[in-house]
Amino acid sequence: MSAPATAAASTAKFTGIDFSATGKQLGYGHVLHSDNVHDASIIPVPLAMISSGSGPVALIVAGTHGDEYEGQILAHELIRELEPEQLTGTVVVIPAANSPAVRAGTRVSPIDAGNLNRSYPGQASGGPTDQVAALIRDHLLPRADFVIDLHSGGSNSTYLPSTFIYRGPDEPTWQRKLQAVKALGLPYAMVVAPLLEPGSLSSAGDRAGVLTISTELCGAGTVDRHALDTMRRGMPRLLAGLGVLAADRPASGAAPDPHWLELVPESAVTSTVGGLFEPLVDLGQQVRAGQAVARVHFIDELDRPPRTFASRIDGIVAIARRPTLVWPGTHLVHVAPELDIHRT
Ligand SMILES: [Zn+2]
């Protein structure tokens, strides 16, 4: 049996959220789906809107990938702790953007295998993951002055705790991104090519002319408490700098300058064989071009020594794979050259 759909039910996109209202509202976005489990139900995308009624709007997104947890915890904290009277603007928080993936603890949706950060601009009449992208792009991005997209390495990798920004899209926005990176105060900043992933929220934000930054907060499918604490100090400082939060908390102080890195196509050290990955370097370690950074041991060829893989460039080990089992094409580590941000 399926519930009769009314016109209102089929067109409503949100429950519990009135975008013209002030105060703290807790609700959810609608993703419509029908299968053996969901019949003709709504898959809720939890959402909070906290508003003082005027001023800039910050959109904070976590749970784009379901197995990236620091941002999800931070988003829930912001929802609980931020009150309208503290704000000089509006904060919209989505703690579990691809909510089926969050509920399953997986990177992509278990319903349609959709990777939300490859799904923008999305499609309102598409599958569940496309619907989430369309919900954010069509209904939330146009209302936002600033987007922070909270990621971590997920189950398969660990990043240096970083703010992650796409170059561009224009000089004034780029300069504002640099200011936002400094305000957030994470130890590292990783710069990547413009529109690196065309289907990502960062690309959607850049295309929409909305200042958008992202983070990579460690990973390994767990929670790094140091990265989380740094974000707890940095988010109020960032929101205050954007004119959304009335005043910075006195304890947060000024942020130290981050260590600037650039991810380039030569950063990836990629296995050409399957087997057991042995790292030879640590995250944050400086390496030289040609330096061995990993070995892969063969499982069945008993007389064959492991294959050694070297960095192609000088730089800092910025991303490391977590699971030991690898295949041809698996990225083992990424080496990021240091970047003089004042010369870019
Ligand atoms: Zn992610």
Burial string for 18-27 (b: 16+ CB within 10 Å, else e) reads eeeeeebbeb
> In the numeric block, which tokens belong to residue 143?
């209302």
Q: What's the CA-to-centroid distance between 7 and ligand 1, angstroms? A: 35
CATH fold of 266-338: OB fold (Dihydrolipoamide Acetyltransferase, E2P) (2.40.50)
CATH fold of 7-262: Aminopeptidase (3.40.630)
Burial string for 288-326 (b: 16+ CB within 10 Å, else e) reads eeeeebbbbeeeeeeeeeeeebebbbebbbbbbbbeeeb
Q: Do domains 7-262 and 266-338 have the same CATH topology?
A: no
Q: What's the CA-to-centroid distance between 45 and ligand 1, angstroms? A: 17
pTM for this predicted structure: 0.93
Q: What's the CA-to-centroid distance between 247 and ligand 1, angstroms? A: 30
Q: What's the CA-to-centroid distance between 223 and ligand 1, angstroms? A: 14
For residue 329, how far is the Cα from the chain centroid?
23
Q: Based on the number of CB atoms within 10 Å of its own CB, is 171 exposed (0-12), middle (13-18) or buried (19 or more)?
A: exposed
Q: What's the CA-to-centroid distance between 137 and ligand 1, angstroms? A: 17
Sorted by where each begins, the domain ranges of the chain are 7-262, 266-338
Q: In angstroms, how far apart are the furthest CA atoms of the chain?
A: 70
What is the rounded distance in angstroms from the CA atom of residue 326 to the CA atom of residue 168? 34
Backbone angles phi, psi at 259, to 5 degrees: -90, 115
For the chain, 344 residues long, give each residue's pLDDT as a single digit of tens.
444 444 334 457 999 999 999 999 999 999 999 888 877 789 999 999 999 999 999 999 999 999 999 999 999 999 999 999 999 999 999 999 999 999 999 999 999 999 999 999 999 999 999 999 999 999 999 999 999 999 999 999 999 999 999 999 999 999 999 999 999 999 999 999 998 899 999 999 999 999 999 999 998 999 999 999 999 999 999 999 999 999 755 555 677 899 999 999 999 999 999 999 999 999 999 999 999 999 999 999 999 999 999 999 999 999 999 999 999 999 999 999 999 887 66
Q: What's the CA-to-centroid distance between 154 and ligand 1, angstroms? A: 6
Ligand 1 ion: nearby residues, β-carbon < 5 Å: 65, 68, 151
Q: What's the CA-to-centroid distance between 68 and ligand 1, angstroms? A: 6
What is the rounded distance in angstroms from the CA atom of residue 144 to the CA atom of residue 259? 28
Q: What's the CA-to-centroid distance between 22 and ligand 1, angstroms? A: 31
Q: Based on the number of CB atoms within 10 Å of its own CB, is 56 exposed (0-12), middle (13-18) or buried (19 or more)?
A: middle
